[in-house]
Structure 1
Amino acid sequence: MDKQWLYNFAARALPKPKRKENTLSAFLGSTAKRSVFQKKCTDVLHKHRCVGASITFFSLDGTMSRVLYGLAAPDTPINDDTHFRVASVSKLITALCVMKMEENSDISIYDDIHDYLPYRLREQPISLKQLMTHTAGLHDGDSYNNLIGTGVPVTELINSENVLPSADKYDWEYSNFGAGQVACVLESMLNKSFEMIMQEYLFEPLKISASFYPQHIGKNIANSYNVLPFKEQPALDAKLRVSRSDKGWDKVNQLQHYTLSQGNCFINADGLVQIGNAFLRQGYLSTDTLERMKTPYASFGKADYRLKQGIGSFIIEDNTIAKYPLYGHQGYAYGSIFGLYIDNENNDGMVFCSSGCSLARKYVMADINLDIMKIWQNRELWK
């Protein structure tokens, strides 16, 4: 029997944990709507067994409505400044930075990455655009999944499990291995560490508190917990991550830095709002560049019929949520779900971060993200 089906059944059938303490830290609507909005959000978080979470609905002018729920760590409530490892939302964050560098004519996303890297993935050319649209013919094989995080150099992962013979035969395949190569390519192109590039081109200009090294954040970082079955030992222990050495963060090291851009950004909800607004409208990037990022380059196919692939972004076409495309990215790791999505028709967006929740889903999109998106699209609740 399918493991995901069993998980989904357990998420529905098993008793829910107690509802967590929660607060409304910001609200755009009238006083009369406050309690209704807060209950709608907390009902969804309770339904999906959240340990802790932050839901933010934001407008282009910077105003927002936000609910904080539960714990980031034992005896540590989620607050406005809690930082999260936002998993694959890092791909959208990285893509914004890459496109800024292209606008500045510092790089080209069409060059063959092998002209810069100290190693080859295969003989056929691969571009940054292909890496960011998952059309490079790369795969997350067993050797990648078993060895990532062990410190092995990337050259040990260049094999037939992870590198398909040619991209020509494969329209699209979501690949963390491929997305992680983006950091290595940027380091080779600019002769700077990936972290320094991200700070210089994205985080500092937008005044965002974020890093691909949790040691640089220090305190107020959420753990991530598995909730089915619930385990008290976090799957991601923030204090343990912070205690590790960050040696080499400021050095170019393409053989080791393939574990950053695919999912290792630590950022708070306010930072994600800034990222969302940069993706929403002209300012940080030009209108033309934003349109290119939101152009569909591939379809997820059977993986999720509702999704198409932009540059570093998902294009969500689901009439049960909105009658037009929405844009953004989902994160999914260590028992936690994340989401950053924007609505160009209404000039607003949503940010969801968690420290552990149900991973129930039918396709790629997590059920909890879909439920929160439906609240977001009901603007009478929060505006």
Structure 2
Amino acid sequence: MVMGILLFISACNSNGKKHETIKTGVQSTLAETLDTVLEANLNDDNAGLIISVWQNDVNLYTGMKGIAKPYLPITENTQFRLASVSKTFTAIAILKLYEQGFVDLEDSILDYLPELDQSWQDISLHHLLVHQSGIPDIFNDLETHQIIDNEITNDKIFHYFIENPMLEFNAGSNEDYSNTGYVLLAKIVNIVTGNTFASYMESEIFSPLGMNHSYILDEHAEITEQTAMNLATEHKIFGRESFSYGSAAQVSSMVDMQRFLSAFMTGKILQPETKALMMTTYSPPDESLFNGTGYGIFYFSDDGKTVYGHTGGHDGFRTIYAINREKNAFIVILGNGGDYMPDYSYMVELAAEFLE
């Protein structure tokens, strides 16, 4: 299903000792195969993960091992920070505004955020969505801990770039992963709707889809009892608490991810023409971070059209979803143990052996 996934495009640098995955191979059934790899690589009383495999709207397997927090085992309703998987949802938020006629994808970023420097005039919403803006990544290109004091928030990131408008390349001339672009997209949602990004996501995406265990963990959110703790060896990003959203910060359970992906695959979230825009490849494979870049998604498969999704790594949280269009199937893994987690790409490939 997924060959050569470059896992964990991170909202930040990953920390902790790298776990050497114990590869247990394919067993006689999907359940036995995934149960065996979980048993070999995880402990009941340490950080863990949950994995779910669906095909043709039927749950083929859901398994979990480990704890969400001390004395609380991971369940299907455990809420995980999705890290960069959040970007798929942010892209959909922008596309829903596009469907409603509130934004155009070719609009300049300055049409909505005029405080930014005039040298950014040629950067469009499209460029932000496909990582072609030239805006430096606040987490991976800059010394975040030196340029932002205390908590990392969207407002602080926005004001930093008002004062420091340097670009890495001209918009549209290259592709370079930028969390900053998705932070600014969330800001645009706020400006256009007059609501907070968290409120918009709740009213337009989470509530309509019955995603009752999802929320945006910004600086104003209350962490719920079911939200998993980061149980990796590091608990902050560059020594700071991070509440930047749009690029990350969505919290969702496995049940909610299943509801979202099922609705997305069956065309219940976006109109067909809009979904086609989202899934168009805007960079050739040799220039893309994976094998093709769409709006809030990357193509994992070598053909650049069959398997797509997103990965995430934020502090101790590691996430991935992968959709196989030809087999009408998807796989989701959510974990809270940082680099202690087994190799997700290996687990995805094991599961893919059983897709018909």
> TM-score, structure 2 length as denominator?
0.79
Q: Is the 8 A contact 1:211 1:217 kept in 2?
A: no
Aligned partner of 2:254 in structure 1 is 269
Higher relative contact order (CA 8 A, sep 6+): 2
**Partner of 2:160 in structure 1?**
156
User: Cα gap change, 1:358/1:107 in structure 2, threshold over 3 Å: closer, same or farther?
Assistant: same
Indicate if the aligned counterparts of 2:110 and 2:116 stay in contact, CA closer than 8 A: yes
Change (3 A) 1:220 1:9: closer
Match for residue 312 of structure 1 among 287, 292, 296: 296
Residues 1:84 and 2:68 are matched in the alignment: no
Alpha-carbon shift at residue 293 of structure 1 (Å): 1.3
SS of equivalent to 2:66: strand
Task: Rate the CA distance shift 1:324–1:182 in 2: closer, same or farther, 3 A.
Answer: closer
Cα distance, 1:131 vs structure 2: 0.8
Corresponding residue for residue 19 of structure 1 = none
2:283 alignment partner, one of 273, 298, 303: 298
Distance 2:351 2:136 in 1: 34
Whole-Å separation in 2 of the counterparts to 1:328 and 1:192: 28
Aligned-partner residue type, residue 142 of structure 1: L
Show CA shifts across 1:241-297 (max 9, x none): 8xx9xxxxxxxxxxxx9x210001011111111222233232221222222211111
Residue matched to 1:24: none
Matches within 5 A, 1:228-239: 231=233, 234-235=235-236
| Same amino acid, percent of matched pairs | 22
Q: Residue 28 of structure 1 corresponds to which residue in structure 2?
A: none
Q: Distance in 2 between matches of 1:312 and 1:45?
A: 31
Specify which of 128, 131, 134 is matched with residue 134 of structure 1. Answer: 131
Structure 2 counterpart of 1:193:
196
Contact in 2 for aligned 1:222/1:355 (Cα 8 Å): yes
More helix by share: 1
What amino acid sits opposite 1:307 in the alignment? Answer: N
Local SS of the residue matching 1:88? helix
In structure 1, how many angstroms separate the alpha carbons of the residues matched to 2:312 and 2:196?
A: 24
SS at match of 1:63: strand
Structure 1, residues 69-110: CA drift from partner, whole Å, max 9, x if none?
101112111111100111000000111222222222232222
Q: Distance in 2 between the 1:89 and 1:143 partners?
A: 23
Shift of 1:342: 0.8
Aligned to 2:314: 333
- Alignment match, 1:20: none
Per-residue deviation, 1:59: 3.1
For residues 343-354 of structure 1, what are the structure 2 equivalents within 5 Å?
343-354=324-335
Q: How far apart, in 2, do the equivalents of 1:99 and 1:158 lie? A: 25
Counterpart in 2 of 1:12? 20
Partner of 1:202: 205
Which amino acid letter does the alignment assign opposite residue 354 of structure 1? G
1:172 maps to 175
Q: 1:136: Cα distance to partner?
A: 0.9
Contact 2:49 2:66 in 1 (8 A): yes
Q: How far has the Cα of 1:167 moved from its partner?
A: 1.6
**1:63 maps to which of 52, 59, 66:** 59
Contact 2:49–2:336 (CA<8 Å) still a contact in 1? Answer: yes
* 8 Å Cα contact 1:139-1:161 kept in structure 2: no
2:353 — aligned with what?
378
Separation (CA, whole Å) in 2 of partners of 1:182 and 1:292:
17
Contact 2:318 2:334 in 1 (8 A): yes
Is the Cα contact below 8 Å between 1:143 and 1:157 reproduced in 2?
Answer: no
1:218 correspondence with 2:233: no
For 1:376 and 1:273, the matched residues in 2 are separated by: 16
Q: Distance in 2 between matches of 1:354 and 1:73?
A: 12
Judged with a 3 Å threshold, the aligned counterparts in structure 2 of structure 1 residues 164 and 217 are, in CA distance, closer, same or farther, namely same
Letter in 1 for 2:160: E
CA distance in 1, matches of 2:78, 2:17: 31
Report the Cα distance in structure 2 between the residues aligned to 1:280 and 1:184, rounded to whole angstroms. 27
Q: Secondary structure at the match of 1:180?
A: helix
Greater mean alpha carbon deviation, residues 158-167 or residues 342-351: 158-167
Residues of 2 paired with 1:66 and 1:116: CA distance? 43
TM-score by length of 1: 0.73
* Structure 2 unaligned spans of 5+: 1-14, 23-27
Could you tell me whether the CA contact under 8 Å between 1:57 and 1:376 is conserved in 2? yes
| Structure 2 counterpart of 1:327, one-letter code | Y
User: What does the per-residue CA deviation read over 1:159-213, in whole Å, with 9 as the maximum and x for residues that have no partner?
Assistant: 5585336225x41010011111011111112222111111121111111121113
CA contact 1:44–1:368 (8 Å) conserved in 2? no
User: 1:303: how far off?
Assistant: 8.0
Hey, what's the Cα distance between the residues in 1 that align with 2:307 and 2:30?
Answer: 26
Contact 1:51–1:70 (8 Å) recurs in 2: yes
State whether residues 309 and 320 of structure 2, in contact with CA within 8 Å, keep that contact through their aligned partners in structure 1: yes
Structure 1: 5+ residue stretches without partners: 1-6, 17-31, 245-256, 361-366
Q: Which amino acid aligns with 2:307?
A: L
Query: 2:50, 2:333 within 8 Å by CA — same for their partners in 1?
Result: yes
